């Protein structure tokens, strides 16, 4: 969605230059809130295709709020204008009930507004929501309309029921309704003829198709969406009025909003016809049709930063600060405990080292004492050994002397 909002914002550049620049000149150029101020603002809004009725509603609401809030400076009124346009563009949640129910959708509008492509894109959106979709090619009068729709059905990945060129559109609707029931389809989207040159014939065709659906598919939720080209400005509003006379319009698909200077027509249509804009298109690809969101549209139109994104960013920054503070506390606590533990370990180590040194000193003393004892003992033993050896030698000498044999005396006769 962020990418779509960027394309919408870019697509409304011309509209923004056409409307917002003039509005800012009034808000920041006027010296006081008076009749001249309101007249200038009214002229800019009407010239921006916002429409007479919508402009009158916006101006009257602004006057009431200025009195209630006791505003004095024109620049304080811009926020009132933006909020008033938001309120004009709000779409109720019930506007999209057909997405959740078994429904039949008629897509109507003049040729050339992007009707057939909108059918394919809408089918793609609904299929992406997990709905089973079937397309009915009931525009049998325009040459190659069926072939064009078949290509879009292929892109969206849905089935299509068609008829021969020039065939009765009601017969195509009959076949499509029965196929939808047999295949247990969730949404049947019907592309209809776009002729307005003969409203009587168009009205009769729509009535006939509606009778078939009422008879064959009575429990289906009904939706009539008109496709309007945003670049046509007030002509789009006129087309909506014309079709509103022959069909009960339940919503608007506003196409070609990329690059138009007449984007204010979205405000006029919804305000004057009391028919909500439900989808808006800003490109040619199948993803370029999205649900209409009043806040996003007004933010893009007035180049206002998305409030939800700003709040989310602020909340994220606040959470980050809290996390950082908590992290610092944890680090400091852990560091403190680590230092304390290290100090205790060092103290224990020093104590153990002292004990070891004391033991080593004691052992050294013992060893020294033992060494001295051994030395004395060795000296004593050595002296004793020397004396014993001398005595033994003397004794041995004496023994040798005693045992020496006497010489024999020989007698001669």
DSSP, residue by residue, 290-357: EE--HHHHHHHHTTPPPHHHHHHHHHHHHHHHHHHHHHHHHHHHHHHHHHHHHHHHHHHHHHHHHHHH
Token digits for 287? 């993803």
Question: Residue ranges of the alpha helices (H) in 12-49?
Answer: 13-29, 35-47
Q: Is 283 a residue whose pLDDT tops 70?
A: yes
Q: Is 397 a residue whose pLDDT tops 50?
A: no
Closest among 237, 233, 310 to 269, alpha carbons compared: 237
Task: Please state the rounded mean pLDDT for residues 320-325.
Answer: 60
Helix 13-29 and helix 294-301, axial crossing angle in degrees, nearest 10: 70
Determine how many CB atoms are found less than 10 A away from the CB of residue 65.
16
pLDDT at 123: 95
Task: Please state the rounded mean pLDDT for residues 227-233.
Answer: 86
pLDDT range class, residue 44, cuts 50, 70, 90: confident
Which of 112-116, 147-151, 303-307, 353-357 is predicted least confidently?
Answer: 353-357
- CA-to-CA separations, 16 to 6, 8, 86, 123, 258, in angstroms, rounded: 14, 11, 15, 31, 12
Q: Is 387 a residue whose pLDDT tops 50?
A: no
Report the C-alpha gap between 158 and 295 in whole angstroms. Answer: 32
pLDDT at 184: 95
Which of 78-87, 96-105, 168-177, 316-325 is predicted least confidently?
Answer: 316-325
Token digits for 194? 């776009």
Report the C-alpha gap between 82 and 307 in whole angstroms. Answer: 13
Task: Please state the rounded mean pLDDT for residues 116-140.
Answer: 94
pLDDT at 310: 52
Task: Please state the rounded mean pLDDT for residues 138-143.
Answer: 83
């Amino acid at each position: 969605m962020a990418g779509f909002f960027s394309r919408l914002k870019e697509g409304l550049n011309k509209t923004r230059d056409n409307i917002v620049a003039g509005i800012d000149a009034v808000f920041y150029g006027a010296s006081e809130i008076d009749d001249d101020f309101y007249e200038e603002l009214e002229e800019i809004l009407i010239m921006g295709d916002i429409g007479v009725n919508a402009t009158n509603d916006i101006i009257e609401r602004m006057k009431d709020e200025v009195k209630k809030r006791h505003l004095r400076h024109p620049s304080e009124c811009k926020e009132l204008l933006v909020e008033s346009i938001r309120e004009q563009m709000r779409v109720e949640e019930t506007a999209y009930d057909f997405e959740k129910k078994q429904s039949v959708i008629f897509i109507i509008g003049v040729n050339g507004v992007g009707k057939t492509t909108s059918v394919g894109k809408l089918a793609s959106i609904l299929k992406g929501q997990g709905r089973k979709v079937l397309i009915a090619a009931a525009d049998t009068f325009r040459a190659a309309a069926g072939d064009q729709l078949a290509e879009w059905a292929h892109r969206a990945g849905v089935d299509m029921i068609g008829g021969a060129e020039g065939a009765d559109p009601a017969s195509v609707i009959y076949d499509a309704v029965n196929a939808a029931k047999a295949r247990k389809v969730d949404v049947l989207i019907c592309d209809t003829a776009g002729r307005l040159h003969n409203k009587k014939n168009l009205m009769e065709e729509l009535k006939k198709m509606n009778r078939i659906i009422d008879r064959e598919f009575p429990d289906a939720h009904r939706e009539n969406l008109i496709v309007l080209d945003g670049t046509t400005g007030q002509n789009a509003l006129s087309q909506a009025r014309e079709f509103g006379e022959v069909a009960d319009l339940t919503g608007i698909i506003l196409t070609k909003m990329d690059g138009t200077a007449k984007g204010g027509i979205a405000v006029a249509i919804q305000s004057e016809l009391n028919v909500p804009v439900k989808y808006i298109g800003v490109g040619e690809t199948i993803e370029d049709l999205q649900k209409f969101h009043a806040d996003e549209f007004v933010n893009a139109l007035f180049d206002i930063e998305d409030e939800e994104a700003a709040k989310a960013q602020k909340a994220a920054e606040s959470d980050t600060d809290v996390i950082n503070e908590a992290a610092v506390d944890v680090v400091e606590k852990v560091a403190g405990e680590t230092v304390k533990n290290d100090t205790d370990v060092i103290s224990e180590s020093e104590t153990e080292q002292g004990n070891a040194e004391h033991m080593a000193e004691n052992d050294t003393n013992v060893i020294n004492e033992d060494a001295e004892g051994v030395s004395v003992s060795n000296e004593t033993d050595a002296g004793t050994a020397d004396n014993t050896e001398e005595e033994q030698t003397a004794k041995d000498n004496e023994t040798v002397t005693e045992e020496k044999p006497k010489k024999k005396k020989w007698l001669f006769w």
